[in-house]
Amino acid sequence: MDILSNLALGFSIALSPWTLMLAVIGCFLGTIIGALPGLGPSNGVAILIPLTFSLGLDATSALVLLTSVYYGAMYGGRISSILLNIPGDEPALMTTLDGYPMAKAGRAGDALVISGVASFVGAFLATIGLMLLAPLLSRVAYQFGPAEYFALYMLAFCTLGGLASQNQAKAAFAAALGLAIATIGLDNQTGMPRFTFGNLHLMDGVDFLVPLVGLFAVSEVLIYIENQGKSSSLGVKLEKVTIPFRDIGASFGTMIRASFTGFVAGVLPGAGASLGSFLAYMTEKSFAGKNGGFGTGVPRGIAAPEAGNNAAAGGALVPMLTLGVPGSGTTAVLLALLMTLNITPGPTLFTDRPEVVWGLIAALLIANVVLLIMNVPMVKLFVHILSVPPGLLLPGVMMVSFVGIFSLTGSYFDLLLMTGFGVMGYLFRKIGVPTVPIILGILLGGHMEDALRRAMILSDGDVTYLWSSPIAIGLWAAAIIGFIAPMFLRPILKRPDRVID
């Protein structure tokens, strides 16, 4: 049993007191980040990367800390969905549909416990799925040449643009913009400067952490300033928390099915956790039929999206670790983390750095148990955190962003650039241009251009080489379908409306 011996290696790394402590801290921070409206997994992890880097943690420790934050944020998102009817992050949107009605019916505690257990089941099964699927996929990925990698990057951009946005042209523009930002700096192949306009600060290119924090965190604060006055207050009271064994038992089948759906959605590049929770909720809803009572506050309606969302979060790690192609905004942020730590995700990661991969997987399993413990008996503590006023929280987020970037480079230029990206992110969000493809473009731009140019060297300039192998043709076909199909599916896949008081 390869997996068991690998897992033993992973636990031997992850079970040290130091890593355990990091996992607990990460889970705690992550749950808070997920619970606070306005701070989600992607911007939460984004503002923490520069700080982790400045702390000088080694690769495994930094990974354990930030993936615990990632998983924790997935758990935390449900708290404000249920109590405030405001999703703490985008994937938690579906949890409001049944979570808030149940909380209003005086069963807030039950809703939190059911969703906590569902999160655990989803995340646990997805981690098992990751263990089984990732090594297989990394073996396939060994066959990838530059042409296949180029097609794979196209697939990521196409599915992300197709599924995660409302307008293909805007998503494609966002991807092109991100890739264009990545071309700033010295050319990898010739060593000549490109688009630097004689500015020395731009010679090294744009550090991807700067647009990352700008687009995700700074723009969020600007959105908040615009919505000033519409502050949130606790809508429902949380009484004593007990464990509703009967409801958990009754919705167990739902959790398992939703985990499976969510995991598959998460593995697809570009789909991510939002699609996972959406699909899980919708399949369970049609499975239950009209008499299922979905939308009125039934346990299964809470279990399905939470299990789906957490399973998708685990599933999204599969393409990120094995192929270096993230499946969602947050995994794009985790990819940024790996690149900051000088780890190149891809098939070789599993053979060259087994301690990183298996340490990470073991850490995920540990984090999951820690999160279950934190989120069921200690859920009241996190509920108090929701009452932090935005007037204190968001300036804090801003200052942490600035100090994080400042501590990386110590240059005012990067801070100005970050502010610029923040304003740009705000305008883009108003216009409806998705920001995740920009980040993905900046992260993958260098690799994508290298793959294309290497393919052209191999084929001596023959473009048809890009789709000359069966794998490449399959990827191109999937990319085209992924980009075009949502145009027709959009009316069918319409999201249910939010519950309105």
Partner 1 sequence: MLRTDRIFGVVVILAALAYIASAFQIRTSFLSDPMGSKSFPILLGVIAILCGAIMVLKPDDEVEWPSAGAFLKIAFATVTMIGYAYSLKPLGFLLPTAVAAGILSYLIAGRALFAVLAGLGLSAGLFLVFKYALGLGLVAFPKGLF
How many chain residues touch partner 1 (CB under 8 A)? 64
CB atoms within 10 A of CB 340: 18
Q: Out of 398, 440, 466, 479, name the contact with partner 1 by CB under 8 A.
A: 398
Of 222 and 365, the one with the shorter C-beta distance to partner 1 is: 222
Mask: binding to partner 1, 23-62, rule CB under 8 A, as x and -? ----------------------------x--xx-------
One-letter amino acid of 182: A
What is the maximum alpha-carbon separation in the chain? Answer: 71
Task: Determine the Cα angle at 313 with ends 252 and 316, to 5°.
Answer: 125
221 binds partner 1 (CB under 8 A): yes
- Shortest gap between Cβ of 433 and partner 1 (angstroms)? 8
- Shortest gap between Cβ of 112 and partner 1 (angstroms)? 28
DSSP 8-class letter at 497: P
Tell the residue number behind the tokens 């699927």, with chain if given: 133
Of 8 and 416, the one with the shorter C-beta distance to partner 1 is: 416
- Shortest gap between Cβ of 149 and partner 1 (angstroms)? 14
Task: Determine the Cα angle at 440 with ends 437 and 445, to 5°.
Answer: 115
Mask: binding to partner 1, 410-429, rule CB under 8 A, as x and -? x-x--xx-xx--xx--x---
The rounded radius of gyration (Å) of the Cα atoms in the chain is 22
Of 167 and 283, the one with the shorter C-beta distance to partner 1 is: 167
Q: How far is CA 222 from CA 112, 192, 226, in A?
A: 31, 37, 6
Of 192 and 200, the one with the shorter C-beta distance to partner 1 is: 192
Q: Out of 106, 249, 253, 391, name the contact with partner 1 by CB under 8 A.
A: 391
Query: Helices 470-489 and 146-163: crossing angle, nearest 10°?
Result: 10
Q: Out of 164, 218, 282, 363, name the contact with partner 1 by CB under 8 A.
A: 218
* Binding window for partner 1 (CB under 8 A); candidates: 106-114, 215-223, 328-336, 490-498: 215-223
* Binding window for partner 1 (CB under 8 A); candidates: 72-80, 166-174, 268-276, 331-339: 166-174
* Binding window for partner 1 (CB under 8 A); candidates: 6-14, 272-280, 311-319, 445-453: 445-453
Q: Where are the alpha helices (DSSP H) in 56-107?
A: 59-84, 93-102
Phi/psi at 448 (5° precision): -65, -45
- Shortest gap between Cβ of 56 and partner 1 (angstroms)? 8
Helix (H) or strand (E) holding 141: helix 108-141
Footprint of partner 1 on 258-287 (CB under 8 A): none
490 binds partner 1 (CB under 8 A): no
Footprint of partner 1 on 299-318 (CB under 8 A): none
Q: Out of 17, 58, 228, 245, name the contact with partner 1 by CB under 8 A.
A: 228
Which parts of 146-263 are beta strand (E)?
A: 185-186, 193-194
CA–CA distance, 315 with 162 (Å, rounded to integer): 19
69 binds partner 1 (CB under 8 A): no
Of 4 and 392, the one with the shorter C-beta distance to partner 1 is: 392
CB atoms within 10 A of CB 246: 10
DSSP 8-class letter at 214: I
Q: How far is CA 131 from CA 64, 70, 272, in A?
A: 16, 18, 18
Among 36, 66, 67, residue whose Cα is nearest residue 313: 67
CA–CA distance, 287 with 475 (Å, rounded to integer): 32
Contact positions vs partner 1 (CB under 8 A): 51, 54-55, 166-167, 169-170, 172-173, 176-177, 179-180, 183, 187, 189-192, 194-195, 197, 218, 221-222, 224-226, 228-229, 231, 389-392, 394-396, 398-400, 402-403, 406-407, 410, 412, 415-416, 418-419, 422-423, 426, 430-432, 449, 452-453, 456-457, 460-461
